[in-house]
Structure 1
Amino acid sequence: MRLNRSKLVGFAGLNKSYFSLFTSPFLALLTTLLVGVSAPAEVFSLGVYFLLATAFLNSYNNVMDVKSDALTKQGFPIPAGVITSAEAMAYSTSLAMLSVIVALRTLFVQIAAGAMLLLDLFLAFLYSTPKVRLKRFPVVKGSTLVSHTFLIPFIVAVLLTERNLLSYSMVIPPIFLMGLGIHTVQDIGDVRGDRFMGDKTIPLLFGTKKAVVFALSLVLSALMYVVFLEVQLKTLAILSLLAQTAMVSLLLFREELWKNVFWGSSAVSFLTLASLLYRCCV
């Protein structure tokens, strides 16, 4: 295989998805920092892992979804003919192997934390792989992605800092609910491809309007939970969730704005997560 500029651009493009290559690892790393991981070696190792694992999740998903992408995402590298499916699979496999190597480093530092990273990789594989394909189940799809971005990094950070997970678990529900709501909005844009692949997302099963109501109920549930939660930046957390509620509410009237709402609410999620996790685990 000859590597030219178009091939390199193709491999780089293989990592792209609505599940951003950079946003997701940054959220995961931010979670670990806010929980209290501070050793430079650990921060660097986790940052590299989150980047590699997200690249694997995205690239493997693009390999498995090549037929539906040919209908809805013709500009992606494989449908566009920039790289072949075999080349893409080799690249994705390489990312998985590198992710395992980095995860093993954490395993030698703290066994349970390393095991959680390996579990994360396994879920990333099951997310798209035929037969199992976690993404074909409603709610399970979003739960897997939220686990990759927040829940598993949170648990890993608590384990590395030798804290009691149960003592800090009260901040998990609102962040998880918020994440599920955002990923439900994301599914609105993938109805055609999901139908082709046989995936059963909320928008596909119940229609866009009911999916918006479902997403809105998740974000509102997170908001109501935070109202009764004791965190240092409670007001900021409430304001950020109110902003997300307002954005998702727009889709009740303008469904075509789903992509703007998805990216807008994703951006605000940084503020929500930071305000809820700030000094949560001291």
Structure 2
Amino acid sequence: MRKVARFLLLPLLFFFIVAGVQPATAARYPTSMAALGDSITQATDVCCWYGNHPAQSWSTGNGRFDGITSHYERLLQLQPDIAGKNFNNSRSGAKASDLPRQAQAAVSQGAEYVTILIGANDVCTSSISGMTEVETFREHVNNALQTLDQMRPRPQVFVSSIPNIYQLWSVLKDNEVARLVWSAAQICQSMLASTNTPEMRQQVLDREIAFNAVLEQTCAQYKSCRTDGGAVFGYAFNASDVSRLDYFHPSLQGQANLAEVTWKAAW
């Protein structure tokens, strides 16, 4: 009789084990997400015509046949409940000063996962003197993270480092078309102006490195926040990763690689 009872209990025990494991595994993936940032996350000038192309965003994009597997598309495979809840709050031209407003939008959307890529416009200005001060940058980033940290439940937050602007200049400095576009459109003149000295470019690079340190340090203060550990800044992109429309923003390949590098760091 005791053997029969044990035999009957085995299927029941297996059911409870499986039932206990599966929901816990699914629960660790979010059912909604929001992206905060600037034109990189808007996929500005990514391909084919000028303007924003959020469907090709490394974070919340859902474009078909573009070669980009965004965070949203990867999460959709793991958590179908996230379908349609991919909010892109980034804004072209945004600086860190816009980040708290974007974070508040993510709160109103109930985002369970938030990506942040900000800072390129704080370092890429019309001149070196126009760059955002480091402590001002820190204040804005902290305010945004504090807003997200006050959500209940707290969202998972991923903070990317800023792509290496000096590397952009280094990769394309001998490209005559790129230099012409940079000058005509007055793109990131703090770094890309043809009249800049090596010392001036180093000054801009130093400010970007300081911004990335701020992102790392500030994120570390919050339990639900993690960074890429400098992976995006350290990524050795080449000319094919850069848009041929403005020679500044990521191309389709650049967005795909950005999605890959950041996904590995975030998940």
The TM tier, using the shorter chain, reads 0.3 to 0.5
TM-score (norm 1): 0.32
Larger radius of gyration: 2
Q: Choose between structure 1 and 2: higher strand proportion.
A: 2
Higher relative CO (CA 8 A, sep ≥ 6), structure 1 or 2? 2
Q: Choose between structure 1 and 2: higher helix proportion.
A: 1
TM-score (norm 2): 0.33
